[in-house]
Amino acid sequence: MRTKILLCLLMLSSCHQGSKSADTTKNPIVAQTGTTPDSVPEAIKNEIKKKSFQQRIDHFDKKSKMFNQRLWISKSFAKSSDAPTLVLLCAEHVCGESYITDYLDKLALPTGANQVAIEHRYYGKSQPFADLSTKSLKYLQVKQALADTALILKYLRKSEKLSGPFIVIGLSYGGDLAAKMRVAYPSLVDGAWSSSGQTKYIPDYQAYDINMTQTMGASCAQSLRDVTAKIENIVDNDPEQFKLLREKYFVPNMTHKADFLFGLVDVAAAAVQYNEASVLCDVFKGGDIIEEFGSFVKRIHDEWPYKMDSYGFGAFSDISSSGPNASIRAFFYQQCSELGLFQTAAKDKALSVRSARLDLNYMIDGCERMFGRKFDLAKISENYNKIYHNRLIQENGPSNIYFVSGDLDPFMSASINPTTGNITNKNIVAVSIKDGAHCSELSKYVDEKSPQSFKDAKAQGIELIKKWVSEVKK
């Protein structure tokens, strides 16, 4: 997306960390490790080529029109003609060379692999249509995205002469797709690394609110509840103060009350999801809590990519496929039509820091406001779970998949990991990272100063890639 470090919204699920400033004093997420990533040895020059691949808009209609899908290829680290190829699924972001240099370089060096990054349909410049109107978004579906990847893998085999094993890698939604490729196209994909991949689609995802509340701790969670209650009272009963609050929080035009409340809590959630709850909790240690929370919002606005105006269903009426919020609108559509995972308020108030009005009805109403149609999300999510997630957790389900979750990640309950207790497939490897957040092991900032649990999870993934490659070549 246009916001290039970590993106959260309703989707608070993205992991891509782009090339924002390397000033680690301003970005607490970077400061967590205190350094930028290790560089590739100067003796190895990574030559990356951009390609354009013609895809069908609808893979299930032979008369379908075509569109151009972007991908990036590097063969610089390959050690043999049958070297493995690491394929990164960029998912809900504008893709580019940085996906190779930020994420794949450190995996390709020890495995001697080729590298490929694929831009997801409807994101960046891989646009099937000129706009993102509801009609145009019809083919933004998981099954279409999986079919896109399958055809590109065939193209890489034939035209790029990449004859070795294919290992598909993804973060968050991309991690979900990576795992599902082993279900849908096991003959094309030899292994998959799913970093915080939410393979189970849950429309009413109260677990996010519960996890956030527990991670914050009792005192901090109560302070956020108090702020929410005071602001909710102002929103409902004092129009002039509500106007002043919107100006203070940089959203003068966000007049929808629930959208405003949603934006407030999800700016806070950005800190919690990425292991920076202390940044939020420190603001509640003195003074007027509304003023203190306002200073926190300002800090987020100035230093992080999370803006209050990036939240709320009323914010994305622009249907341009090249507009500043195009990726966000596209991912909202995916949530409304298939993925779910709406961060709703937990029904148990003791386990919630969100306004009670932020329930599934609010989310469904928001989808209708944004896209002008109703979605049978519950039925569609259930069907996807039967086709994919349920097969991933079968005792003899798909093999050669590495699932990684942080034990502080609010999306953990939608993933496959030891903490959730759903590792019933004996053919996979799944780990929970101690003190890990969303996609911690593949963060571009993981280095020798990172927590040992982060480094161990990454190292284990590299060894699994080597094992899978060895088994294929036998």
Note the pLDDT of residue 204. Answer: 97
pLDDT in tens, 262-274: 888 888 888 888 7
pLDDT in tens, 158-191: 999 999 999 999 999 999 999 999 999 999 999 9
- Residue 30 tokens read as 């970077």
Neighbours of 421 (CB within 10 A): 8
Cα(217)–Cα(211) distance, integer angstroms: 10
The low-confidence residues of the chain, meaning pLDDT below 70, are 1-44, 304-316
Note the pLDDT of residue 19. Answer: 34
Note the pLDDT of residue 7. Answer: 35
- Residue 237 tokens read as 């009963």
Note the pLDDT of residue 295. Answer: 82
Note the pLDDT of residue 291. Answer: 85
Note the pLDDT of residue 244. Answer: 92
Give the chain's mean pLDDT: 87
For the entire predicted model, the pTM comes to 0.89
pLDDT in tens, 321-360: 998 788 989 999 999 999 999 999 999 999 999 999 999 9
